[in-house]
């Protein structure tokens, strides 16, 4: 710490820093965090230990036991994979939603408290108001998602006489575009637009959330945009003109090194 920032406590500083950081909370020291700040100097990172890459894609972990479903059936998983890959496709910049594990991320989220709207107001009456008043549905988010996937598949059958996963890329995009425009109804007044927004937001979350949630495999989402992930200090570089390209770290790294 003291090596990194002039304004840090003077000599004997590591111990001082620990001490001072704990003072305000009655002597408790946040060991891991402070330790990370001291030892995990900027640009001094080792790659994550458990992230072997395959020569083909450069991104696929050898085995990821997190990648199984706790909510979707196989068909639902496949439609989600096909749709999210069109929202965030693989290109010259790097992997797309599939290689990043986005569909597994979505599956895991929908199985948990957020999928069941657990921390949201769920008392009735559920009445449709103005757009400025927000969501009014009594249907849980994870149910909306499954109905949305069915609506995608049905719209594909109707237009192309094929399931969504069998469509060409341009056809998939056409279906997603009508969904986004609200031309496809999901159920009971829920427009394709609300479902599409949910799908798009969850895709970006799966690309960029910490890998602990099942997406952003091997931090490849972060790497594409030079986002350093979980770092303890930028005090040394925040005032600098040069862009500080930094190997990312995850919360797993934070835990593992302490």
Partner 1 sequence: MATKLPRVPVLIVGMGWIGGIIAAELSKQGIKVVGLERGKPRSTEDYYMVHDELRYAQRYELMQDLSKETITFRNTSKMTALPMRQYGAFLLGEGLGGAGIHWNGQTYRFLPYDFEIRSKTIERYGKKKIPDGMTIQDWGITYDELEPYFYKFEEVAGISGDQEQAAMVGKRSKPFPTKPMTKTPMIKMFEEATKKLGYHPYMMPSANLSEQYTNPDGITRAPCQYCGYCERFGCEYGAKADPVVTVLPVAQKSGHFELREYANVTDILHDGKKATGVKYVNPLTGQEYEQPADVVILASYVFNNVRLLLTSKLGKPYDPNSGTGVVGKNYAYQTNGGSATGFYDDKQFNLFAGAGALGMEIPDFNGDNFDHSDLNFIHGAGIRISQTGLRPIANNSVPKGTPTWGKDFKATSLKYANNYLTVAAQGSSMPWRHHYLDLDPTYKDAYGKPLVRITFDFEEQDRQMIAFMADKTEAIMKEMKPSSIGSSKELGPFNIVPYQSTHNTGGAIMGSDPSTSVVNNYLQMWDAENVFVVGASAFPHNSGYNPTGTVGALAYRAAEGIAKYLKSGGSLV
Q: Hey, which residues between 161 and 190 contact partner 1 (CB under 8 A)? A: 173, 176, 180
121 touches partner 1 by CB under 8 A? yes
244 touches partner 1 by CB under 8 A? yes
91 touches partner 1 by CB under 8 A? yes
User: Which listed residue (50, 58, 73, 136) binds partner 1 by CB under 8 A?
Assistant: 136
Helix (H, G, I), strand (E, B) or coil at 171: helix
Smallest separation (angstroms) from partner 1 to the CB of 11: 13
Rounded Cα–Cα distance for residues 99 and 217 (Å): 7
Helix-strand-coil split of the chain, %, nearest 5: 45, 5, 50
224 touches partner 1 by CB under 8 A? yes
234 touches partner 1 by CB under 8 A? yes
- Residue 231 contacts residue 42 (beta carbons within 8 Å): yes
120 touches partner 1 by CB under 8 A? yes
135 touches partner 1 by CB under 8 A? yes
User: Which listed residue (11, 74, 133, 188) binds partner 1 by CB under 8 A?
Assistant: 133
* Residue (73 or 201) nearer to partner 1, CB: 201
115 touches partner 1 by CB under 8 A? no
228 touches partner 1 by CB under 8 A? yes
User: Which element (helix H / strand E) includes 185?
Assistant: strand 185-187
72 touches partner 1 by CB under 8 A? no
User: Which listed residue (119, 161, 170, 188) binds partner 1 by CB under 8 A?
Assistant: 119
User: Residue 76, class by beta-carbon neighbours within 10 Å (0-12 exposed, 13-18 middle, 19+ buried)?
Assistant: buried
Smallest separation (angstroms) from partner 1 to the CB of 244: 6
């Amino acid at each position: 710490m003291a090596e990194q920032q002039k304004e840090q406590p003077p000599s004997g500083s590591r111990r001082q820093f620990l001490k001072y950081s704990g003072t305000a909370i009655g002597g408790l020291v946040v060991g891991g965090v402070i330790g990370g700040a001291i030892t995990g100097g900027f640009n001094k990172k080792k790659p994550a230990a458990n992230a072997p890459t395959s020569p083909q894609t450069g991104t696929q972990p050898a085995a990821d036991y997190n990648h199984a479903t706790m909510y979707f059936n196989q068909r639902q998983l496949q439609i989600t994979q096909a749709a999210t890959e069109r929202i965030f496709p693989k290109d010259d910049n790097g992997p797309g939603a599939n290689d990043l594990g986005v569909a597994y991320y979505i599956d895991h989220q929908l199985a948990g408290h957020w999928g069941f709207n657990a921390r949201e107001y769920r008392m009735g009456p559920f009445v449709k108001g103005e757009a400025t008043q927000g969501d009014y549905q009594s249907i849980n988010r994870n149910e909306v998602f499954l109905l949305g996937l069915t609506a995608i598949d049905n719209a594909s059958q109707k237009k192309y006489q094929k399931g969504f996963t069998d469509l060409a890329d341009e056809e998939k995009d056409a279906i997603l575009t009508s969904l986004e425009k609200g031309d496809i109804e999901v159920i009971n007044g829920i427009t394709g637009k609300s479902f599409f927004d949910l799908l798009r937001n969850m895709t970006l979350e799966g690309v960029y959330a910490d890998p602990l949630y099942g997406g952003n495999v091997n931090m490849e989402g972060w790497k594409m945009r030079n986002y350093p992930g979980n770092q303890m200090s930028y005090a040394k570089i925040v005032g600098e003109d040069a862009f500080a390209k930094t190997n990312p770290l995850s919360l797993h790294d934070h835990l593992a090194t302490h």
